[in-house]
Structure 1
Amino acid sequence: MTDLLWYQGYSATTPQLAIWLGLGDGTFNTASATSYSSLTGYTPYFADFNGDGKTDILWDKIDSNGRTQGQRQLWLSKGDGTFATSTNVGGQDGTLSGYRAHIGDFNGDGLADILWVQETGGSVAQLGGDGSGGATNGSSSGSSSGARVLWAGKGDGSFTVITNFAGQNGTVVGYAAILGDFNGDGKTDILWDSRSGTDTRSTGTRVLWLSDGAAPDLVTAITTGIGANVAVTYKPLTSSAVYTKDNTAVDPQLDLQGPMFVVSRVDSANGIGGTVSSTYAYVGAKADQSGRGFLGFRQMVVTDLQTNIVSTTTYRQDYPYTFLASSETKKLGTATLNSTTNTYGSTALGGTRYQVFLTQSQASSADLDGSALPTATSTYQ
């Protein structure tokens, strides 16, 4: 649930802070404001800096232009409206004076990174998730000289310093940074926009840096017990090559599309020096906002690249039958080779618990000439 943090601004002599925890019905558990003299001159940045799913706060002491003075405090959320505080963020106090902070995930590891842009002389630095936040060839009013440093997050709120950010020194002098995921791969990219004049208007010249590196924590290769190799390839749901979004969800359900990575291809050794390959595509991911979460895909399509046979499995997305296969069809071109349709039943066990079972399975197939063969129906009790 969304909470509220009330903060009496940067310029206050003694800042006041109050946290209201949401109750899930549009109301809040209100709390009185507390004075924090230690936060005088600080501005907050909100993100999950240690990957525990809770919103943390990085307090950065800034000057009148919104640039850091090199003093920071990190508050890690305890999940109850209170925080564990640290005044020595990664042992880096006093560094990057004159920079402005921008929050993003530049390496796609799910941890918050920080892009520091120096606006007075123009360097760029990044606090990253695991040190791989390189770039291949929100917004700041200043510009960069091109020098970069990477602060790599350890996932616990601390950071490691890595120099020579992406080897891109000197390429974006006089440009301002605009952050976003411009290619839908789940990593924060940088659009550098050339600025000029006292009002720093865009000149119309831009350079796009797409964050590189593979998505983390994905199995890409398997060696079986007999030495056979299996290679697994992934693509995000933002790729039309692997995913088609539905537009049929009714509240409280949502149709989903985002940078979630799914298997797009599997190549397996066939034991005689060749490879067996299959591609995968997905249709209609949904989520339930009332607490059931991800409901899976409506369909998964597997194409055997050796035979060109396409297998389409359709899944239930309604409770209590979520994730169960309702039908499977195999086709070669436009001809249907065989299909199976499943029917399910359920028995209430009390509360919201159900015992789900298969009641009927109906299988049909076709002869080599395309003529239909008898349908086989199995009933279960």
Structure 2
Amino acid sequence: MQRRAFLLTVSAAALSGSLWQEAAMAAAGASPYGPLGPADANGVALPSGFTSRIVARSGRPVGGLLWHPAPDGGACFPDGTGWIYVSNSEIPLAGGASAIRFAADGSITRAYRILSGTNLNCAGGATPWGTWLSCEEIFRGKVYETDPYGARPAQPRNAMGRFKHEAAACDPDHRVVYLTEDEQDGCFYRFRPTTWGELSSGRLEVLCEGPVWREVPDPTPGVLQRQTRHQVSQALHFDGGEGCHYAGGVCYFTAKGDRKVWAYDARTGTLGSIYGGGGTLDGVDNITGTRAGDLYVAEDGGNMEINIITPDGVVAPVLRLDGHSRSEITGPAFSPDGSRLYFSSQRGTSGETAGTGGITYEVTGPFRR
């Protein structure tokens, strides 16, 4: 399906000072799945025909592993006739990431760690070659390339920059990786690896006025040196970069400060926003998409929903968590066949970050694929 090109009309000429002149944006409308019903036994409000289950709780055993606290960014990977769901842990010093392996019928066969001893692993992104990029959301944080299948040790990818990383999205068409930065004056980056599929070396660039890309002079600055977001004077800044998703020539990323879903069209070199807040979607955070052209945006705060943004510009809730007001929805990801959606409530109903509050869910139903 053709992506939402009708929304991507903001170009270099539209930048005036710090103000963007924006085209028509997505707005609240009727969900293609119908209205949400009352919350089920798991506290999840869903449209008719959808069901939920809890697959893991922080501090409790799942597949032979104690599930980590504060589950955050996640992704799914094919695994024979089954699949794997990977999830980060956003806690200090012992963050890392874990994986749950599912059989073809959806039963859990095993869970295991794929990254340990890292710090506040927030979001990340899957690569086309089957690895998970786990990002540290700390000052001078690193990107770690991990193996969802648990066979190879994780590797730090310092060439991708040392900053307060949030999410990553691979663009196989232009052979770059886009990166968001969770700072009030954060930047939007792209990493151009020397060899596509190998992230140990390459060139880090930042999106600047124009918009054009300029090289970051020192991707790994010291503690007292000028940090990456301040090294290029023409760099554009975004208030709290969050989720990141690439599809069909466009990289979509969210910024929690202005509650926008931004869109960088790599084919035309234009930047715009497809959603600007003020509707049913609030507290924009993690983002994913489907082959059908739909985007799914999770809320940090708001009324704890995941909203769909359809290719024709409709924004509508597809699920809501009741009783999770002190939490955030994290890690939305579809199984390889698109029939199951995984996500977490990072702190659950208790609001506990480092304890047993986190809950990871699966929703099954007639998702558009």
Q: Which TM-score tier does this pair reach, normalised by the shorter chain?
A: 0.3 to 0.5
Pick the structure with greater CA Rg: 1
TM-score between the two structures when normalised by the length of structure 2: 0.35
Q: Which has the higher contact order (CA 8 A, sep 6+)?
A: 2
TM-score between the two structures when normalised by the length of structure 1: 0.34
